[in-house]
Amino acid sequence: MVNNAEQIYKKIAEKYDFLNHFFSLYIDVLWRKKLLKLISPKKDEVVLDLCTGTGDIALEVAKKSEAKPIGLDISVEMLDVAREKMRKTGHRFSLIIGDALLLPVRNSSVDVVTIGFGLRNLPDYSRAIDEMVRVLKPGGRVFILEFAPPEKNIFGFFYWIYLRYIMPVVGDIIAGVKEDYKELAVSIRAFLTPVQMNDLLQKKGFQDVKATRLSFGIAYIYSGVLRK
């Protein structure tokens, strides 16, 4: 999904949440709750959620804290779904149309940056993290929720079979996106390992870098604090 992610999300925006929940057996909901617990956003903190999609992380911040969440995404269709969620729940947060590689956000103006399952789809991980560093205040925090490459064990083997062969077939039946889910499997397998992600964050100026393992290593939450 790296090269044409915007077009794919435009196509599946209305079914995006259902597909996520269906394929993960609703475990993705638990991952986001874990993410919010780790963030523990404080009153009036600005929390910028990149690649916000349908706004799940920003909405969770709005529900559970007095912080000021902002959701940013390049897909108008996905943001329309996020607005509908706000209307239905009554929880408000700001939405911005923008590119995670060129954020329309002032330098040193954000307390927390989050990104959930979006970094992997960007064409330049390093530049994306540079932008996070730019907009974060000194001492600001980053939280990256992302899939990890299948581990080299029996669970990882069956997980890869699920990604490569089962998800594309079901995705085709539900939303006509068979080839797109094949690309998803490839992008997960090609993504950085937890060690590589931690190294990258440290090189970009983050300290206290941690990788929180989720669900047998299917996903991780990477976190760090920007050096003052």
Q: pLDDT tens, 177-188?
A: 666 667 778 888
Looking at residue 3, its pLDDT comes to 43
Looking at residue 45, its pLDDT comes to 98
Q: Given pLDDT bands bounded at 50, 70 and 90, which one contains residue 136? A: very high
Choice between 14 and 77, residue whose per-residue pLDDT is larger: 77
Euclidean distance between the first and the last CA atom of the chain, given in angstroms as a whole number? 35
Choice between 168 and 218, residue whose per-residue pLDDT is larger: 218
CA dist 76 and 162 (Å) reads: 30
Q: Lowest mean pLDDT: which of 108-112, 114-118, 167-171?
A: 167-171
Looking at residue 210, its pLDDT comes to 98
Q: Measuring CA to CA, which residue among 158, 160, 108, 161 is closest to residue 135? A: 108
The domain spans of the chain are 5-13+27-150+193-226
Looking at residue 2, its pLDDT comes to 41
Tell me the whole-structure pTM to 2 decimals. Answer: 0.90
Residue 110 has pLDDT above 50, yes or no: yes
Interval 192-209 mean pLDDT: 98
As assigned by CATH, the class of the 5-13+27-150+193-226 domain is alpha beta
For the record, the structure tokens of 120 come out as: 């992997």
Q: Given pLDDT bands bounded at 50, 70 and 90, which one contains residue 21? A: low
Looking at residue 7, its pLDDT comes to 57
**Is the Cβ–Cβ distance between 80 and 87 less than 8 Å?**
no
* Paired strand residues for 142: 113, 224
Looking at residue 112, its pLDDT comes to 98
**Is the Cβ–Cβ distance between 62 and 91 less than 8 Å?**
yes
CA dist 52 and 21 (Å) reads: 16
Residue 13 has pLDDT above 80, yes or no: no
Residue 104 has pLDDT above 50, yes or no: yes
**Is the Cβ–Cβ distance between 181 and 198 less than 8 Å?**
no
* Residue showing tokens 């927390």: 112
